[in-house]
Amino acid sequence: MFNLNLSQKDHVYKHELKHRECREVFPYSILAGFYNDVMSHVEYERWAAYTLAVGAEYKCGINKVFDFACGTGNLVFQLELMGCDASGADGIEEMVKIANAEKVNWHSKASFYTCDFLNLPPVSNQDMVLCLYDSSNYILEVDQQELFFDQVKQLLSPDGIFLFDCSTRLNSIRHFNGYKFREVLNDTTILRYAYYTKKDNIQHNEFFILPEGEDYYWHEHHRQRIWSLRDFEKSLKKTGYKLLNKYDGFSFASGSEKSERVHFVAKPA
Ligand SMILES: C[S@@+](CC[C@H](N)C(=O)[O-])C[C@H]1O[C@@H](n2cnc3c(N)ncnc32)[C@H](O)[C@@H]1O
Task: Tell me the pLDDT tens digit for each residue of 45-71.
Answer: 999 999 999 999 998 789 999 999 999
Nearest CA to ligand 1 atom 26: 71
Residue 37 inside a domain? The answer is no
Contact between 143 and 234 under an 8 Å Cβ cutoff? The reply is no
Contact between 43 and 132 under an 8 Å Cβ cutoff? The reply is no
In the predicted model, what is the mean pLDDT of residues 167-185?
A: 96
Is the domain of 110 the same as that of 210? Answer: no
Q: What distance in angstroms lies between residue 243's CA and the mean position of ligand 1's atoms?
A: 23
What pLDDT is recorded for position 13? 85
Is the domain of 57 the same as that of 81? Answer: yes
Number of neighbouring beta carbons within 10 Å of residue 195: 18
Residue 183 inside a domain? The answer is yes
- Is the Cβ atom of 89 under 6 angstroms away from ligand 1? no
Among 92, 137, 155, 164, say which to mutate for ligand 1: greatest number of ligand atoms within 8 Å of CB. Answer: 92
Is the domain of 150 the same as that of 50? Answer: yes
Is the domain of 156 the same as that of 139? Answer: yes
Residue 59 inside a domain? The answer is yes
What pLDDT is recorded for position 236? 98
**Helical (H) or strand (E) element with 174:** helix 169-175
Residue 114 inside a domain? The answer is yes
Among 135, 136, 164, 250, say which to mutate for ligand 1: greatest number of ligand atoms within 8 Å of CB. Answer: 135
In the predicted model, what is the mean pLDDT of residues 177-202?
A: 95
The DSSP string of 9-74 is TT-TTHHHHTTSEEEE--TTTTGGGGHHHHTTT--HHHHHHHHHHHHHHHSS---EEEEET-TTSH
Q: What distance in angstroms lies between residue 54's CA and the mean position of ligand 1's atoms?
A: 21
Residue 128 inside a domain? The answer is yes
What pLDDT is recorded for position 14? 84
Residue 2 inside a domain? The answer is no
Is the domain of 177 the same as that of 243? Answer: no
- Is the Cβ atom of 133 under 6 angstroms away from ligand 1? yes
Nearest CA to ligand 1 atom 17: 91
Average pLDDT over all residues of the chain: 94
pLDDT cut 70: percent of the chain above it = 96
Closest C-alpha among 204, 210, 202, 199 to residue 178: 204
pLDDT tens-place string over residues 78-100: 999 999 999 999 999 999 999 99
Is residue 10 pLDDT above 70, yes or no? no
- CATH code, 189: 2.20.25
Domain of 187 in residue numbering reads as: 14-28+170-225
Is residue 7 pLDDT above 60, yes or no? no
Number of domains in the chain: 2
Q: What distance in angstroms lies between residue 1's CA and the mean position of ligand 1's atoms?
A: 35
